[in-house]
Structure 1
Amino acid sequence: MAQREARLMQVLVNVDVSNLDQGIAFYCRALGLHLTRRLFQGSVAELRGAGVRLYLIEQANGSGATPAGCRRDYREHWTPVHLDFVVDDLDAAVRRAIEAGAVAQPAQHAAWGSLVTLRDPFGHGVCLVSFNGAPPYEVGAT
């Protein structure tokens, strides 16, 4: 019996934003992504250019986020899930992000490279990472 080739699982990244046009402008300008299409009567934007499809979903501030009654809040917040964008020129990437509306923390430097944490205009944490050689998760990989 012939074995089926395993299908690679896809990862889709979804980010809630209170203003879709502002979200598109930020992620395209700050990170070099590009809008590929709008979905669901224009309430969702698909962006590409980072190895995954990124979907911005317009959701009003204060709208229900869970059946248990949690409400969306776009003030600065922390979440255990965030986006890391690997860039070649960290200084240029940080400059673009700030010009597009991000708030940046000072760069952190380590033997593997450098990292800058950002807050997008909707309070989401986003990191810009620049590696010195192979990313740490590839070192020693077989």
Structure 2
Amino acid sequence: MQFLINIDVDNLERAVAFYRDAFGLRPGRSFGDAGMEMLGGDAPLYLLAKEAGSTTAGGRQRDYRRHWTPVHLDMVVDDVEAAVERAIAAGAKLEGEIRVDSWGAVAGLSDPFGHGFCLLEFRGRGYDEICS
């Protein structure tokens, strides 16, 4: 099975710049005005141009203010503090303090399109520190 990550955005050019500058992803295939494939992670990320107010598959209207969903992206980084600085410089918003736990550190942020994501830095044995 292959997973693809799709992110709706209301400004494709701005989204490409954000995901390039914040995470070092690079443009892959272009779908014209409809979207852009971004490469450089474990799975391709597709930025899909969808106007604010347009209807989703579930019949809701898209809204790019900060929103919450139980599904979000986690990006594993080598240095969480440096990754947070880079993401903020690219337009992300830090939504609290960097938290440190037995497995590592996590920072919760949102992108310029209202999507939440976390930056994780594994330390020691990573998640194995809390698995039995």
Normalising to structure 2: TM-score of the pair? 0.92
Q: Give 1:4's aligned residue.
A: none
How big is the shift at 1:133? Answer: 2.9
Q: Give 2:109's aligned residue.
A: 118
Mapped partners of 2:124, 2:46: distance in 1: 30
RMSD of the TM alignment (CA)? 1.7
Bigger Rg, structure 1 or 2: 1
How big is the shift at 1:140? Answer: 5.8
Q: 1:12-91 maps to which residues of 2 (within 5 A)?
A: 12-39=4-31, 41-66=32-57, 69-91=59-81
Verify the 8 A CA contact 2:9 2:47 in the aligned structure 1.
yes
Matched, 1:100 2:98: no
Q: 1:130-141 maps to which residues of 2 (within 5 A)?
A: 130-136=121-127
- Relative to structure 1, is the Cα distance of residues 137 and 73 closer, same or farther in structure 2, using a 3 angstrom cutoff? farther
Mapped partners of 2:128, 2:37: distance in 1: 28
Q: Which amino acid aligns with 2:75?
A: F
How big is the shift at 1:24? Answer: 0.5
Q: Helix, strand or coil: the match of 2:127?
A: coil
Aligned residues: 131
Gap runs ≥5 in structure 1: 1-8
Gap runs ≥5 in structure 2: none
Normalising to structure 1: TM-score of the pair? 0.86
* Identity across the alignment (%): 47
Q: Deviations over 1:82-125 (max 9, x none)?
A: 10000001111000000000000210110100000111000000
